[in-house]
Amino acid sequence: MKTILVTGSNGLLGQKIIYALREMRNVRCIATGIGINRLRAQDGYEYVTLDITNPEDVKQVMQLYRPDVVINTAAMTNVDACEQRRDEAEALNVTSVKQLVASCNACSAHLVHLSTDFVFDGSAGPYVETDTPNPLSHYAFTKWQGEKAVMDGATSWSILRTIIIYGVVDDNSRSNVVLWTFNSLRQGKVINAINDQFRSPTLAEDLADACIQAGLRKAHGIYHVSGRETMCILDLVNIVASFFNLDGSLVRSISSEELNQPAKRPPVTGFIISKAEQDLGFKPRTFLEGLELIKKQLLMVGAL
């Protein structure tokens, strides 16, 4: 029996990892997050409140459960908020990672840590794991520093970098590009979709599987884990609109310059994923297959 502890279990990726782990035999799943457990399913795993910026609590929880694997999905993920609240971003995305690394080493746990395509400047995508990071924003900088904390300090580790994650969350506490498009267009709202940033959307369920495999196999090193198709955000939004038969005329094409967000974003990312395919058995669904799954999930909760 392996014990797997997940941080940030109320988040988009965290929720999908818990749902996948509770189906697995021979795994004891410990979900941890801030405040109360917000997953609809409350059985098949244990939940404990854990703020990873509190080192004493981290140490205590780690000593109590002595996990074989820790999957760290907790992070400050709002890119513009990170630009504006730099200390907070640093505390969560860097300092708490160092503390987690120390606690993992103390109980010989393998750490699976999540990072981002934003560590690259987007001038030369698609990227392989050995390409050199050059972060453009404070979010990206803190995520890169978090990677370094793992690489320099952890004895057993995997870093999974990923790209815009999409999926349905239980409590509607978070949005993502697919849900945002779906919800906005259903409400008849006009939306701005960027026409000069290219990404490979990643289905949260696929990424969750890769995280679990990285932990169970104790895969060592950096892995690029994303969907295979790279597309412009505007095209992505239009695909979602037409898939759900929504009014595409509400989608407004806008450049990064016009949108003028507080944090700078890389223009073209996308990953070469062959290392993850080989070592983790990663087989991402196509974007349309991902949307089919989302449609089923929305139907199940009566949102469609």
Ligand X SMILES: NC(=O)c1ccc[n+]([C@@H]2O[C@H](COP(=O)([O-])OP(=O)(O)OC[C@H]3O[C@@H](n4cnc5c(N)ncnc54)[C@H](OP(=O)(O)O)[C@@H]3O)[C@@H](O)[C@H]2O)c1
- Site residues, ligand X (CB under 6 A): 7-8, 10-14, 33-35, 51-53, 73-75, 77, 92, 114, 116, 143, 162-165, 173-174
Give min distance, CB of 133 to ligand X, in A.
Answer: 13
Give min distance, CB of 245 to ligand X, in A.
Answer: 25
Give the residue nearest to ligand X (CB): 11
- Whichever of 14 and 290 has its CB closer to ligand X, that residue is 14
Active site annotation includes 139: yes
**Which residues have C-beta within 8 Å of that of residue 105, sequence separation ≥ 6?**
153, 154, 155
CA distance 265 to 107: 38
Q: Quickly count: other Cβ atoms within 10 Å of residue 260's Cβ.
A: 8
- Whichever of 165 and 247 has its CB closer to ligand X, that residue is 165
Q: 45, 47, 139, 166: which is the annotated catalytic residue?
A: 139
**DSSP category for residue 109:** P
Residue ranges with strand state E in the chain: 2-7, 27-33, 46-49, 69-72, 110-116, 157-162, 165-166, 191-194, 198-199, 202-203, 221-224, 231-232, 251-254
CA distance 149 to 141: 12
Give min distance, CB of 162 to ligand X, in A.
Answer: 5
Give min distance, CB of 132 to ligand X, in A.
Answer: 18
Residues 136, 123 contacting (CB under 8 angstroms): no
- Whichever of 95 and 245 has its CB closer to ligand X, that residue is 95
CA distance 13 to 11: 6
- Whichever of 109 and 165 has its CB closer to ligand X, that residue is 165
Give min distance, CB of 100 to ligand X, in A.
Answer: 10
- Whichever of 56 and 245 has its CB closer to ligand X, that residue is 56
Q: Nearest Cα to 1, choosing from 35, 27, 40? A: 27
Q: Is 191 left (phi over 0), alpha (psi -120 to 50) or beta?
A: beta
Which residues are annotated as catalytic?
139
